[in-house]
Structure 1
Amino acid sequence: MSDAERDRNRAEQVQLYGEPLSDVFARLTSGLGLTQAGLARTIGMSPPMLSQLGSAHRIKIGNPAVLRRLEALQQLLDDVHAGRVRMADVAEQVAAVRESSQSWTTTRVDLPAAPPSREDRDATEAATVRQLLRAVASGSELRQAADLLAGAHPGLADLLRTYGLGTPEEATAHLRRHRELF
């Protein structure tokens, strides 16, 4: 495969997932303490397929259950960064993701006994904005857009940097500071 083909495949991954899958895989292995083989096992994919996706020899994750487990790991990492999950509990949470079928079900789901706290809602809302920005643009695109906006529209530039490039804690704190606007 030529470099140009890999570049086109990476560009398609950015369109599909918001960033190249190699970046997603690297962030998850580093942040959750997984090997690439462990990541592959957890999401239900063979290590060679994970490698092909990471190196952009393949573009798309075809199995919806694998994609949902990958999303669950990304949420777990966000929860770790936000302090909602301790690193000591990560292995247990990763095992739960690995064992989940993540399929549609018609069984009853128990709702939480109490509504989420304001802090939890803020963190969830901030995470949603972060995920949306990362779904439509890569980190370098968000950085470039923020740089372009900085002079004329510093508030928008700050928004892109905080939610698109900052930590979950920074995004949550930003949302709390600006809550009165909505």
Structure 2
Amino acid sequence: MQEREVVQRNLALQRQWYGEPLGDRVRRLVVAYRTSQAQLAEVLGISAPMLSQVMSGRRAKIGNPSVLARLVMLERKVFTPGVAAGESEAVRQALEDVRDSRPALGRDSMPVRQVGNSEEVVRPALRQIAQPHELEWAADLLDSYHPALAGLLRRAASGETRAEDSRSA
């Protein structure tokens, strides 16, 4: 099999296993944490060449589950208020916390895709990164072009749930 075919096969496997190519996920983290790929590899506990191979599709998977757990931890910490605001101390602390972590994994401890009502996850995350008046302001801006998104922002601002949320509880 030629290298190009191997890369395409590996990227397809990454989409299947991880929801999208790992290169896309890692690049977002490099931008969000304003760090280099090599520094990110060190935080994850993987060599820089290995991370490069996974990102490019020359390797299909991250073989060490702790490395994958740290990747997910970094993805989740992007939504903490200080990191989301780009505060250098918060970013440094998040990277340090993840680097020093020793995640224990079980079969069901790290779902790749969110199960259930994703709005239940999004509303609290929005409330963590913006004040209610800021969410209302953003909703007003989006209302004429994206009314569903504006509604989500308003529900997050008020703390209310949608009718179907309360019925399913």
TM-score by shorter chain over 0.5: yes
**Counterpart in 1 of 2:57?**
56
Q: How does 1:120-131 map to 2 (within 5 A)?
A: 125-126=121-122
**Residues 18 and 85 (structure 1 numbering): CA distance in 2 closer, same or farther, change over 3 Å?**
same
Aligned residues: 129
**Counterpart in 2 of 1:180?**
162
Q: Distance in 2 between matches of 1:101 and 1:81?
A: 23
Moved over 6 A (4+): none
The alignment partner of 1:95 has SS state of: helix
Matched, 1:92 2:93: yes
Q: Which moved more, 1:170-179 or 1:59-68?
A: 170-179
- Give how far 1:100 is off: 1.1
Listed one character per residue, the Cα deviations across residues 19-38 of structure 1 (whole Å, up to 9, x for unaligned) are 10110110000110110111
The alignment partner of 1:102 has SS state of: coil
| Residue identity opposite 2:122 in structure 1 | A
- Give how far 1:56 is off: 0.2
Which is bigger in relative contact order (C-alpha 8 A, separation at least 6)? 1
- Cα RMSD after superposing both structures: 3.4
**Residues 123 and 80 (structure 1 numbering): CA distance in 2 closer, same or farther, change over 3 Å?**
farther
Q: How does 1:1-182 map to 2 (within 5 A)?
A: 1-80=2-81, 83=84, 86-103=87-104, 125-126=121-122, 173=153, 176=156, 179-181=161-163, 182=165
TM norm structure 2: 0.63
CA contact (8 A) 1:126 1:171 kept: no
Listed one character per residue, the Cα deviations across residues 72-100 of structure 1 (whole Å, up to 9, x for unaligned) are 10011132588588443110111111011
TM norm structure 1: 0.59
* Contiguous gaps of at least 5 residues in structure 1: 105-121, 129-153, 163-169
* Contiguous gaps of at least 5 residues in structure 2: 106-117, 125-145
CA contact (8 A) 2:44 2:70 kept: yes
- Give how far 1:180 is off: 2.8
Identity of aligned residues (%): 31
CA contact (8 A) 2:77 2:83 kept: no
Q: Distance in 2 between matches of 1:39 and 1:171?
A: 36
The alignment partner of 1:78 has SS state of: coil
